[in-house]
Amino acid sequence: MDWSGLFSRHSALVQKEFKTQIFFVGPGWFQEGGFQVDSGGIDILASWSLRPKLGMFKNERVNVKARDVLLVAQSEEDPQFLDYSPWFRSAYDFISHFGEASPHPTNVWLPRQVEDREAINLLIANTPHLRIVTGDLNSLIDAANVVVTVNEPKVIRAIDRHKPVLCYGHAFYRHERVVYCMDDSVRVTDQVLSRIFCTGTSDLLVDAQANMAQLARDQEWSRADAPTRLSGLLG
């Protein structure tokens, strides 16, 4: 087993060389101590991540309660960011883009390991509507009203709680009506947020988000059910 799925890109070579099955393990998203196990990788690389997730849903929209935004930055060493961020090559680039695109008050959460921290601190200090927040990321996501990120896996928690999410990279939850599928367009970012805050609602669907969140929940293991589920994987 490979903890964190860092080497999933090399799995075919390893399996051929050692003639063995590889399972990748990574942190879960919802329960304390939860984790994910998959033969393809974790998060976006998992075998289940490309399954069709959308169908016929009720037209109930995801609403917005207030005009505060949480920006979840990622480390450049995060494999999800490193390999699946087509428009931004660093946390600084992403924060700079969003600060320019959106005039709305935004809390910025930084991981412990992030490049150019001093430059990011200076950027935020010189951008009045941005401010750094610290603390437990799960709690910050739970308390936020709108969440923006490149592809942080834990943002599935915001989807589970039916919050508008703006996704700026490839992610296992990047699907229309689940999140806003963004790119590096300043104009589109401004339009999306302005429409959300002016109308108090979004183009995202409650049922679509619930379906995505449940799919992720179904993949999360607990320590208690690990022996049974592992036996099922091994046949």
Number of domains making up the chain: 2
pLDDT > 90: percent of the chain: 67
The answer to whether position 183 is within a domain reads yes
Q: Say if residue 190 is in the same domain as residue 230.
A: no
Query: What pLDDT does residue 233 have?
Result: 75
pLDDT band at residue 54 under the 50/70/90 scheme = low
Q: Between these two residues, 52 and 136, which has the higher pLDDT value?
A: 136
Query: What pLDDT does residue 131 have?
Result: 97
Query: Is a pLDDT exceeding 70 seen at residue 47?
Result: yes
Segments forming the whole domain that contains residue 146: 61-214
The answer to whether position 56 is within a domain reads no
pLDDT > 70: percent of the chain: 88
pTM over 0.85? The answer is yes
Query: What pLDDT does residue 185 have?
Result: 97
Query: Is a pLDDT exceeding 90 seen at residue 38?
Result: no
Query: Is a pLDDT exceeding 50 seen at residue 134?
Result: yes
The answer to whether position 13 is within a domain reads yes
Query: What pLDDT does residue 2 have?
Result: 47
Tell me the average pLDDT across 190-194. 96
Q: Between these two residues, 95 and 113, which has the higher pLDDT value?
A: 95
β-bridge pairing 201-205 and 24-27: unpaired
Q: Say if residue 67 is in the same domain as residue 108.
A: yes
The answer to whether position 166 is within a domain reads yes
Q: Say if residue 126 is in the same domain as residue 229.
A: no
Q: Say if residue 74 is in the same domain as residue 155.
A: yes
Q: Say if residue 45 is in the same domain as residue 83.
A: no
The sheet that has 220-221: what strands, in order across it? 2-3, 24-27, 35-38, 220-221
Q: Say if residue 65 is in the same domain as residue 108.
A: yes
Query: What pLDDT does residue 65 have?
Result: 82
pLDDT band at residue 199 under the 50/70/90 scheme = very high
Q: Say if residue 82 is in the same domain as residue 149.
A: yes
Q: Say if residue 85 is in the same domain as residue 139.
A: yes
